[in-house]
Structure 1
Amino acid sequence: MSKIEIDSFEPLKVFLEICNIPHASGECESLREWIKNKALEYGASVTIDSAGNLLAKKGKPKVCLQGHIDMVYVSESESFGIEPYIKDGFLKAKHSSLGADNGAALACMILALRDFDNLECLFTIDEEIGMIGAKNITLDIESKVMINCDSEDIDEIVCSCAGGYDLECKIKLEQIEIPSDYKIVEISTNKDRFIGGHSGIEIHKDIQNAILSICYVAQKLIDDGGILVGLSGGEKRNSIPTNATLEIALRNDYILDIDTSLFEVKNVEFNNMAFVANNLINGLLSVKNGVIDSDDSGVILSSNVGILRQIDDEVYVYIMGRGNKENSMKENIQNTQEILGSFGFASNVVDLYNPWEREDSEFLNHVYRVFKIHNNKVKIKSIHAGLECGILKEKYPNISFLSIGPSIFHPHSLGEKMDIESFRKFWAVLCDILKTI
């Protein structure tokens, strides 16, 4: 795509501007200030609540567009920096996640404030780290209908989504001394083979979990007399892990047989102290991970071991689960805690939000009719990702919700990419909805 073509499509131009502003979860002040100034420039009134959510209003609003300001920033660098490029019709980023989730929505919402009246736009904060903004919102929304712009398939109008929970787990390891006739090796996952992805919408793809993959390696080596020195892995709680590292002491004469296409091995400096890790490894490999239950509509229950951190003799594990049915989700929490407890883990639910149940409405039917004009393949469906609609529905029970968005692949990972043509369709659909609502 040439520069002239990029500049002729305004939402993409605005999105590229957003890429230049730091907005990783928990660090969104600069982007919120930019949004505020743009909204004021386009004649909207702006209100920011104590949680940090921003509401921009023009005229007497008939519809509210909603998106979240933050992104899951995964990078090979410590500092924020997105370098977008286009290849084969997709927008990608060099060495980092792209942030199309939810930057594409933000770009369209800003332009909608410029081009339309009788509109309000809700920009929520820190969605990716527990939907913090939605849970603490205190803003006065006038519209009776809301379009969440956080879906990731141009062929879908989403009418319900999964709830979710974060389980924080901890285990203390017994220290032991490494025999003098042992060596220490470091085994790490090959980043080119562990692609990662969204722990909700991509959980059905059987993407390898780096933490669990390296735990299987550790289990075999411990059975062969190996002794754990250190273990860590994962990037974000809601991402399928791409990185994991195991340090393990092995006998000097031990011949390590490992798949070098999946793992990299190197010797490291000898350390006298190691840990008894049977319960740690066996506990993690005993809990259910990935798709746990599904029906004709797709995945309805899943779990993802997302982060593992070892600090001296203590190991912290963060598991994120999702469920489209409240009862089965809560039952899975209990089952997981019981399994981990039997291996000596202490666990605590640090976040929980219920599913967004389907609601049929004339608003949904109208959006479907408009959408069909631009995309004959569009379907109304439920998804297994978490959206803010469920939480916002509890806050605003008289508002009807639905969710749409462009096609985004592998969000929350280095492989994130957005289909440019779907972005064009999304903007065209959004404009026609705003013209006819």
Structure 2
Amino acid sequence: MADKCVIHIFSQLSRIPHCSGDTEAMRHFLKNFAASCGYRVEIDRAGNVMAYGKGSRVTFQSHYDMVCIAKAPAIELVVQKGWMSAKESSLGADNGIGVAIMLCLMKKGTGADFLFTNDEEIGLLGARDLDLRIRTPYLLNLDSEEFGKVYIGCAGGEDVFVRKDAMFQEAEGSGAWFAITAEAPGGHSGVNIADNLPNAITELAGVLTKNHFLEIASVEGGERINAIPRHAKAIVWSPEGILPVSDSPHIRIEETGKEAGSVLVDGKRLAEALFGFAHGVRAWNRELSLPQSSINLAKVFFVGDEIEIALSARSMANKDLERLVEQSVAGWDALGYSCRREGKYPAWEPVTNPFSEKVLALYRTVEPDASYAAIHAGLECALFAHDYPHLKIASIGPTILDPHSDRERVKLSTVEKVMHVVERIVADLSSI
């Protein structure tokens, strides 16, 4: 059975809206909770919250924002067959379970420091702009999502936004208007990028390209820069007597009854560019058995009279990340798009340290097969390692599947076991 304290507090957190970019209510809750437990609390301009304990040797860290998908932040918890999920929304176990573990430790008066970072899901913004002192020699991040693993490395990332003027003209001749919609499972653009999940934007662009007679009036898709798109939609005009078709299970085509309207001058080229973009894994790391480099075709939307496309690149090595981004920019530049780069953060290249060795040894008292791992996703550890070169860092967490989607779920038995590991770490830092 899962740790009752953790699940009880997580249930409380799920009732407080904390979507990335809208975290004030959760920040207020964390501040008051920490103060009520007797910790000295500081908050910086980036919205990070630090609770300083007495005699601290380790800092626990989690981010308190979540990716809100579908009905979130209206979260209705569902427990079934040992798993917790949310009804028709993302759950927020990423990273709400880590936050709940930290709050349970605080409730017990644990002698440690607790760092709650803000807006991790939209570019590690809190960690990037951290203006609070990490005073302990060790930091344990609780944002990993595979029980039995001690993470000592993660991918770096950078976002690319490409834009081009959207020119319109009236649809010529007689014809009919259709809405073409793509629906896909969605998923985390790092954790799930190698799972061969369909990308709703790519699926939609494929239909628009294959039905070459279509004229495109609008196209939009994607939800978050770090989520594989689950929804995309286009409004199109088709010449009289010709119906758009698709044999994809992810596509729905409906006649709209619209009588007149404008279409994109370069709509066909836009569809071809989206369909032709190589979303997904670009290189594989055999040593770590995970993607080395990948890129997510995340969003397409209109901004005034311009079309914008958002891409999210990741790599386990900083030099590979730079090359991937440069190649992507060069490709879109050749198609006449302007490009800007944002939100770059470094890779945390895998290296063991005395603290990670201690964490692994204590982990094996709970899970004998525990081992080291790295993740093809961003962790704030990368920024902490860069800014605090003498800080010894490791990351652990329970099993969370399909984060950043409405299929997100956490295995409750692993929550209890991770809590046991964390408590053993607090009790036994004497030998390092």
TM-score norm. by structure 1 comes to 0.94
C-alpha contact (below 8 Å) 1:359/1:400 kept by paired residues = no
C-alpha contact (below 8 Å) 1:167/1:349 kept by paired residues = yes
Q: 2:218 aligns with which of 230, 255, 258?
A: 230
Q: 1:216 aligns with which of 206, 222, 234?
A: 206
Asked if 1:319 corresponds to 2:311, the answer is yes
CA deviation map 1:137-180 (0-9, x unaligned):
11112110000100000021100100001101112233222123
TM-aligned CA deviation for residue 346 of structure 1: 1.0
CA deviation map 1:374-415 (0-9, x unaligned):
112321011101000111122222211111001111101111
The letter for the 2-side match of 1:198 is H
Asked if 1:23 corresponds to 2:15, the answer is no
Matches of 1:120 and 1:287, distance apart in 2: 45
CA deviation map 1:231-288 (0-9, x unaligned):
0001111000000001111112113321263211211213321012233222223332
The letter for the 1-side match of 2:154 is C
C-alpha contact (below 8 Å) 1:288/1:336 kept by paired residues = no
Q: Which moved more, 1:245-254 or 1:312-321?
A: 312-321
Q: 1:256 aligns with which of 223, 232, 244?
A: 244
1:69-88 alignment, distance < 5 Å: 69-76=64-71, 80-88=73-81
CA deviation map 1:37-82 (0-9, x unaligned):
11111111111112111110111211000000100011247xx311
Matches of 2:176 and 2:222, distance apart in 1: 26
Show the counterpart of 1:270: 259
User: Secondary structure of 2:274's partner?
Assistant: helix
Q: 1:127 aligns with which of 120, 123, 127?
A: 120
1:99-110 alignment, distance < 5 Å: 99-110=92-103
Q: 2:283 aligns with which of 273, 276, 293?
A: 293
Asked if 1:169 corresponds to 2:192, the answer is no
Matches of 1:39 and 1:307, distance apart in 2: 38
User: Secondary structure of 1:374's partner?
Assistant: coil
Matches of 1:342 and 1:59, distance apart in 2: 58
Matches of 1:311 and 1:265, distance apart in 2: 25
User: Secondary structure of 2:365's partner?
Assistant: helix
CA deviation map 1:284-307 (0-9, x unaligned):
233321000012111110000111
Matches of 2:278 and 2:360, distance apart in 1: 37
Show the counterpart of 2:104: 111
Q: Decide whether aligned partners of structure 1 residues 313 and 37 sit closer, same or farther in structure 2, where only a CA change above 3 A counts.
A: closer
Gaps of 5+ in 2: none
Q: Which moved more, 1:371-380 or 1:235-244?
A: 371-380
TM-aligned CA deviation for residue 34 of structure 1: 1.0
User: Secondary structure of 2:398's partner?
Assistant: coil
Matches of 1:114 and 1:76, distance apart in 2: 31
User: Secondary structure of 1:433's partner?
Assistant: helix
Gaps of 5+ in 1: none
Q: Which moved more, 1:321-330 or 1:304-313?
A: 304-313
Matches of 2:296 and 2:110, distance apart in 1: 43
Matches of 2:25 and 2:98, distance apart in 1: 17
TM-aligned CA deviation for residue 312 of structure 1: 5.8
User: Secondary structure of 2:364's partner?
Assistant: helix
The letter for the 2-side match of 1:28 is T
Show the counterpart of 2:60: 65
Q: CA RMSD in A?
A: 1.4
1:117-196 alignment, distance < 5 Å: 117-190=110-183, 194-196=184-186
Matches of 1:34 and 1:76, distance apart in 2: 22
User: Secondary structure of 1:203's partner?
Assistant: coil
C-alpha contact (below 8 Å) 1:235/1:306 kept by paired residues = yes
The letter for the 2-side match of 1:185 is F
Matches of 1:76 and 1:253, distance apart in 2: 39
Q: Decide whether aligned partners of structure 1 residues 76 and 46 sit closer, same or farther in structure 2, where only a CA change above 3 A counts.
A: closer
Q: 2:271 aligns with which of 274, 281, 299?
A: 281
User: Secondary structure of 1:373's partner?
Assistant: coil
Matches of 1:76 and 1:271, distance apart in 2: 34
Show the counterpart of 1:410: 402
1:273-422 alignment, distance < 5 Å: 273-275=262-264, 276-296=266-286, 297=288, 298-311=290-303, 313-422=305-414
User: Secondary structure of 2:332's partner?
Assistant: helix
TM-score norm. by structure 2 comes to 0.95
The letter for the 2-side match of 1:200 is G
The letter for the 1-side match of 2:198 is Q
CA deviation map 1:79-98 (0-9, x unaligned):
x3110011121100012100
Show the counterpart of 2:196: 206
Matches of 2:234 and 2:304, distance apart in 1: 14
Matches of 2:221 and 2:231, distance apart in 1: 5
C-alpha contact (below 8 Å) 1:287/1:340 kept by paired residues = no
Matches of 2:396 and 2:109, distance apart in 1: 19
Asked if 1:94 corresponds to 2:84, the answer is no
CA deviation map 1:187-226 (0-9, x unaligned):
1023xxx1111000110101000001101111112x2x21
The letter for the 2-side match of 1:250 is S
User: Secondary structure of 2:38's partner?
Assistant: coil
